[in-house]
Amino acid sequence: MPGPRPHAPAHAHTHAVTRVRERRQRLATEAARLMVESGLRDYHLAKRKAAQRLGIFDDASLPGNREIEQALREYQRLFQRTQQPEALRLRRQAALPALEFFAAFQPRLVGPVWDGTADAHSVIALHLHSDDPEAVPRYLAEHGIPARPRHHRLRLDPERELDAPAWLFSADGLEFDVTVLPSVCLRQAPLSGVDGRPMRRGSARRLRELLAAEEIAGYEADALPR
């Protein structure tokens, strides 16, 4: 009886790698769907829920946060072609006066509204900068803005974490989440939970430029022959 072909182990390895890749893609897509449909923005929780639903529990098949973000963008492109861009535009437009309102705290827009993955469930997340822990709640109180306190744990670098105070409030039917960071964080943003790099963030000036560019792109798209 002939023995196994010499290339059989290599073939088996390739097959196993392909199966893992396919599982990671399935999990990333399911996690993206859960995030869109339920409003989840916790990548770790979304992938765990997806793994439970699909019955896939080996760690090698769990997608990275960046893979989930890519799947989220693709899911929005395919299934929220109109709704998601409208929800994103609405939140970016609302973020601009908020950034101007908090100008004394050198604010930055962060999270899904800045990176472009925001939808109708998304809050508008801002980072404010002050070395006085009472400055922001005092400012909110002076302007008659009722806000609920909370905290966010952020990673400043691979070795240091920060339990940062945050405040939630509503304006014009939208939710805002403002986190107060030390002034030193203006030089280097906290690390992203998606890819471990400094968070993407935008000032009022950069957001104004982005909104203007989007408006021009919209005019150009409308001008194209149908």
Q: Give residue for tokens 């306190």.
A: 149
Q: Please give the residue range of the domain that contains residue 70.
A: 8-79
114 falls within a domain: yes
Single-letter amino acid code for the residue at 171? A
Same domain, 176 and 207: yes
CATH number of the domain residue 203 falls in: 3.30.460
2 falls within a domain: no
Domain count along the chain: 2
Whole-prediction pTM value? 0.84
* pLDDT of 31 above 70: yes
* pLDDT of 57 above 70: yes
Helix (H, G, I), strand (E, B) or coil at 125: strand
Q: Of the candidates 79, 99, 122, which is a domain's last residue?
A: 79
Give Cβ neighbours of residue 72 (< 8 Å, ≥ 6 apart).
31, 32, 35, 36, 117
3 falls within a domain: no
Q: Of the candidates 79, 97, 115, which is a domain's last residue?
A: 79
Q: Of the candidates 79, 110, 140, which is a domain's last residue?
A: 79
Same domain, 101 and 140: yes
Same domain, 51 and 133: no
What is the C-alpha to C-alpha distance for residues 75 and 63, in angstroms, rounded to an integer? 16
Same domain, 186 and 92: yes
Same domain, 68 and 106: no
Q: How many Cβ atoms sit within 10 Å of the Cβ of residue 107?
A: 22
Q: How far apart are the first and last CA of the chain?
A: 67
pLDDT tens digits, 184-214: 999 999 999 888 999 999 999 999 999 999 8
148 falls within a domain: yes
53 falls within a domain: yes
> What is the band of 224 on the pLDDT scale with cuts at 50, 70, 90?
low
Window from 9-13, 42-46, 168-172 with minimum mean pLDDT? 9-13
What is the C-alpha to C-alpha distance for residues 109 and 194, in angstroms, rounded to an integer? 16
1 falls within a domain: no
**pLDDT in the model for residue 113:** 97
Q: How many Cβ atoms sit within 10 Å of the Cβ of residue 217?
A: 10
**pLDDT in the model for residue 166:** 98
Same domain, 33 and 118: no
**pLDDT in the model for residue 12:** 61
pLDDT tens digits, 65-89: 999 999 999 999 999 888 999 999 9
Going by DSSP bridges, is the β-strand pair 148-155/161-171 parallel, antiparallel, or unpaired? Answer: antiparallel
> What is the band of 222 on the pLDDT scale with cuts at 50, 70, 90?
low
Same domain, 69 and 91: no
Q: How many Cβ atoms sit within 10 Å of the Cβ of residue 34?
A: 19
Same domain, 139 and 58: no
What tokens does 71 get? 């799947």
What is the C-alpha to C-alpha distance for residues 169 and 167, in angstroms, rounded to an integer? 7
58 falls within a domain: yes
Give Cβ neighbours of residue 131 (< 8 Å, ≥ 6 apart).
182, 183
**pLDDT in the model for residue 164:** 97
* Apex 192 CA angle, 182 and 63, nearest 5: 160
